[in-house]
Amino acid sequence: QLSTNFYDKTCPKLFTTVKSAVQSAVSKEKRMGASLLRLHFHDCFVNGCDGSILLDDTSSFTGEKTAGPNSGSVRGFDVIDDIKSKVEAACPGVVSCADIVTIAARDSVVLLGGQGWDVKLGRRDSKTASLSAANSGVIPSPTSTLSNLITRFQAKGLSAKDMVVLSGSHTIGQARCLLFRGRIHNETNIDASFAKTRQGSCPITVGSGDNNLAPLDLQSPTSFDNHYYINLINQKGLLHSDQVLFNGGSTDSLVEKYSKDPNAFDSDFAIAMIKMGDISPLTGSNGEIRKNCRKSN
C-alpha cells in the first residue's frame, strides 16, 4: 500500500527539503551518509520500518536505542530531528518519521555516489518501541555464519541475493574494533598485510582500543561503489560476516559478479532497498504521524 507519490499533494517540498538537509549533514561529515543508511536497516528489521528506533525511552517502555546492536553504534538521530523540524515547518503533521528515514537513506547513497531509486512512502510511525525486540536476534551479528545471515534475512522476506547485495552497504562507513578483533587476530581467511594494518589500531587484548574505528571498505570508505566485493575477493573483508559471503560457499558467485559489474550492483541494490523498505509498514489508521521523532504524540 506504499506508493512513490504518497505526499505529492500534501507535501510537495518533501524531497527537496530532506535532500538539502542530508546534503548539509553529509558535507559536514561524510560518515553520516553511512549512519543514516544503517539507521533505516536497523529500523526495518525490528518490527518493520516504523520509526521505532528513533523513540527515546519513556517511563512506560525502554526502546531500541540501548539494544546490543544499537548502543554506542547507531547514529544520526540529530540529523533526523533536524530534517523532521524542516519538514514540519513545510507541511505540519503530514510526513512520518519512518518515511523521513527511508528518504534520508536513499539520499545518502546518492550523495556518496550510488545510483538511487524511487522510494515508496506512506509508512506511519509506531507509538512504542521494545528493547527486547531489538535484542531478540533479528538484527544479525557480525560473527554470524553465512547460513545464519541467510536465515535472518529470509525471516524478513529477503532472499540470500538481497542479503549479499544489501551487505554492499559496507562500501561506506566504519566499524569498532571490538566487533572485528576476532577476525583480524584469529582468522586465517584474511590477507596478512591487511590483518597487520588493522591490528595496529585494534590490539588483541579485550578492552583495549575497543572503540577504535576502521573503515568497512579499506579502499573508498566514503564512496558508494563496488569495492566492498573486490575486497572480499582479496580476503580483505573487515567483519567475519563480510568475509563469509566469499569463503567457498553458495554466495561466492554473486560476490564475483558484483566485483566485476558495478552496474549490476547498483541496480540490484536499488531493488533490494525497496524490498527492505517494504518490511511490515504501519498504514491506514495504524500508528501515527509523530510530531517529534523521539516521542509518541
> Which residue from 11, 166, 184, 270 is in contact with ligand HEM, where contact means CB under 6 A?
166
> Which residue from 163, 230, 254, 270 is in contact with ligand HEM, where contact means CB under 6 A?
163
Helix or strand (DSSP H, E) at 147: helix 146-154
Bridge-partner residues for 214, per DSSP?
Answer: 175
Cβ atoms of 189 and 231 closer than 8 Å: no
Bridge-partner residues for 3, per DSSP?
Answer: 121
Q: Identify residues 90-129 at the interface with ligand HEM (CB under 6 A).
A: none
64 among the known binding-site residues?
Answer: yes
82 among the known binding-site residues?
Answer: no
> Which residue from 36, 46, 87, 282 is in contact with Ca ion, where contact means CB under 5 A?
46
| CA distance linking residue 220 with residue 114, whole number of Å | 13
Tell me: does residue 149 bind ligand HEM (CB under 6 A): yes
User: How many residues sit close enough to Ca ion to count as binding (CB under 5 A)?
Assistant: 5
Concerning whether 240 is annotated as a catalytic residue, the answer is no
Q: Which does 179 bind (CB under 5 to 8 A by kind): Ca ion, ligand HEM, none?
A: ligand HEM
Least Å from the CB of residue 103 to Ca ion? 16
Tell me: does residue 130 bind Ca ion (CB under 5 A): no
Q: Identify residues 171-230 at the interface with Ca ion (CB under 5 A).
A: none
Cβ atoms of 95 and 7 closer than 8 Å: yes
Enumerate residues 6+ apart whose C-beta is below 8 A from 246. 229, 232, 233, 237, 252, 255, 256
Residue type, 69: P
> Which residue from 176, 257, 275, 295 is in contact with ligand HEM, where contact means CB under 6 A?
176
Enumerate residues 6+ apart whose C-beta is below 8 A from 22. 33, 36, 79, 83, 104, 107, 108, 111
Enumerate residues 6+ apart whose C-beta is below 8 A from 272. 158, 161, 162, 165, 166
185 among the known binding-site residues?
Answer: no
Tell me: does residue 102 bind Ca ion (CB under 5 A): no
| CA distance linking residue 171 with residue 89, whole number of Å | 34
Nearer to Ca ion, 225 or 278 (CB): 278
Tell me: does residue 75 bind ligand HEM (CB under 6 A): yes
Nearer to ligand HEM, 88 or 281 (CB): 281
Tell me: does residue 31 bind ligand HEM (CB under 6 A): yes
Residue from 68, 77, 79 nearest 46 by CA: 68
Q: Which residues are annotated as a binding site?
A: 43, 46, 48, 50, 52, 64, 140, 170-171, 217, 225
For ligand HEM, the binding residues (CB under 6 A) are 31, 34-35, 37-38, 41, 73, 75, 140-142, 144, 149, 163, 166-167, 169-170, 172-176, 179, 239, 241
